[in-house]
Chain A
């Protein structure tokens, strides 16, 4: 199996409170995996463990088959807040991870610039974040995450702060990016429609401590369009998911 990211029986406590309990999941190459769970269930802690910021108390994290516990600098994640630097232009914000990796600013900018068109940010290279709409800022933040490591994207409720209309546009756009570049995506959300619509596979997490309650394969054809949301297959999947809540 071509497993890109594998989490095996990971447990984590925070100040004696159990946050993650025996979490096991896997993301294949070029697979889009959603994690669906209630807010504050510890999903964000899972990302901190995967990205190496936190050590798991038990269990393993494998990236490309290699033990990656406590190793930062391999995968980045994108939080709900865009966390763009207000004093840097969008181009510099996007280029930031390359600079952290040791490239010079001109070099990093040159590498980041070609992605502004597919990420629908062209023309805004020299704008500052506060001049952009919420949706554009999230696209810029995703570009930054993508430029850091384009094979694995960890997205933590990236569209949670957007209004519903913008959000559904962002879904189609994200699917387009996914088709075009084929990264492995792990996508955290508490929105059932979003989780099903985007993913190939869905994990349902329980409330704290987070456990994997169910693993559901989503065999909806790609490319996907919004008509899918009102289809019978989609409704059936949604019904299947809803029984876990």
Chain B
């Protein structure tokens, strides 16, 4: 018999222990070291700031979420389209694959300012950064998922006379779904950061813009509030993808069958 923790302890208390300890340590260090609040405010001082500035943050939050939503969706659609195309046409794979890798080696920090020059201070350049960041993990995962489908299974379907689109619909796409979601998880955790980087380099709205302002005002507590908000957003996006995984792939977590 293995000792099992109650569900709530297992799922909530255990994961929260370490962050709480770190916060506690932070509080202790600030107090014992008598660090002035403009260098590092203690967590107890950040929380009221959070409550105080939250109404001001909301419009920025909306913009960041909008950039994320548009960028992430477009990245997903584009990745699915390109991956399917590359899987179906070996020639397309040969032509596009190197370009994909190159797109990932370009440092975002160097192209994002160019987007500003070309597309101005609106949301478009941020959306582009999100796409650039998210597209690659999704596309590559899906492509590998499609290529990894059991060759014998494909043979069997061909023997049954399945046409190409049937093979994709019935086998290849569902078989590649776990890989697609693995890619989605990676890009979900980057996506908000992409939007923030875009805003941080030049914007008139958004959490990244807010953070930039706070930084220039040496308002460390506000910077920390922005960091906290970004973290919560990223976690939320990640959790949504995990939830999506459960909904789309019920066979991954079936209840044990009773004999």
A109, chain B: closest CB distance, angstroms: 14
Is there a chain A Cβ closer than 8 Å to B246's Cβ? Answer: no
Q: Is the CB of B161 within 8 A of A128?
A: no
CA distance A219 to B256 in the complex (A): 46
Q: Which residues of B contact A81 (CB under 8 A)?
A: 150, 152
* Interface pair B161/A73, CB less than 8 Å apart: yes
B160 near A48 (CB under 8 angstroms)? Answer: no
B98 CB-CB contact with A under 8 Å: no
Indicate which residue in B152, B160, B175 contacts A79 across the interface (CB closer than 8 Å). Answer: B152
Q: Which residue of B lies closest to A73 (CB)?
A: B161
Is B257 on the interface with A (CB-CB < 8 A)?
Answer: yes
Asked if A83 and B254 sit within 8 Å, CB to CB, the answer is no
In the bound complex, how far is the Cα of B14 from the Cα of A102, in angstroms?
Answer: 52
When chains A and B are docked, how far (Å) is the Cα of A101 from the Cα of B162? 8
Give the interface SS of chain A, mostly helix, strand, loop or mixed: loop
In the complex, the answer to whether B249 meets A76 with C-beta atoms within 8 Å is: no
User: Closest CB-CB distance, A155 to chain B, in whole Å?
Assistant: 13
B160 touches A83 (CB 8 A): no
Known interface pairs A100-B166, A128-B251, A131-B257. Does A83 touch B152 (Cβ–Cβ under 8 Å)? Answer: yes
Interface hits, A85-110 → B, CB 8 Å: 85-88, 96-97, 99-101
The number of chain A residues touching the other chain, given as a range, is 20 to 34
Asked if residues A87 and B249 are in contact (CB atoms below 8 Å), the reply is yes
Q: Which residue of B lies closest to A89 (CB)?
A: B251
Tier of interface size on chain B: 20 to 34
**A189 interfacial by beta-carbon distance below 8 Å:** no
CB closest residue in chain A, given B249: A87
CB <8 Å contact, B254 and A128: yes
Report A103-133 residues with CB < 8 Å from chain B CB: 124, 127-128, 130-132
B174 contact set on A, CB distance < 8 A: 85, 87
B241 to chain A, nearest CB (A): 18
Considering only residues 201-259 of chain B, those with a C-beta below 8 Å from chain A are 249, 251, 254, 256-257
Which single residue of chain B is at the shortest CB-CB distance from A92?
A: B170
Beta-carbon contact of B158 and A131 below 8 Å? no
Instruction: List residues of chain B with CB within 8 A of the CB of A86.
Output: 251
Please give me the residue from chain A that is nearest to B169 by CB atom: A99
Considering the complex, give the chain B residue whose CB is closest to the CB of A96: B170
Q: Is there contact, CB below 8 Å, between A87 and B156?
A: no
Asked if A53 is at the interface (CB within 8 A of a chain B CB), the reply is yes
The residues of B that contact A96 with a CB separation of less than 8 Å are 170
Query: Which residues in B have their C-beta under 8 angstroms from that of A203?
Result: none
- In the complex, A77 Cα to B153 Cα: how many Å? 11
B171 cross-chain contacts in A, Cβ below 8 A:
85
Which residues from B are CB-within-8-Å of A97?
A: 160
Closest to A132 in B: B257
Chain A positions within 8 Å of B156 at CB level: 76-77, 79, 83
The 7 closest A-B pairs by CB, nearest first: A73-B161, A131-B257, A51-B159, A128-B251, A100-B162, A87-B251, A87-B174
9 residue pairs bridging A and B, Cβ less than 8 Å apart = A53-B158, A76-B156, A76-B159, A76-B160, A81-B150, A87-B251, A124-B257, A127-B257, A132-B257
Residues of B with Cβ closer than 8 Å to A?
150, 152-153, 155-162, 166, 170-171, 174-175, 177, 249, 251, 254, 256-257
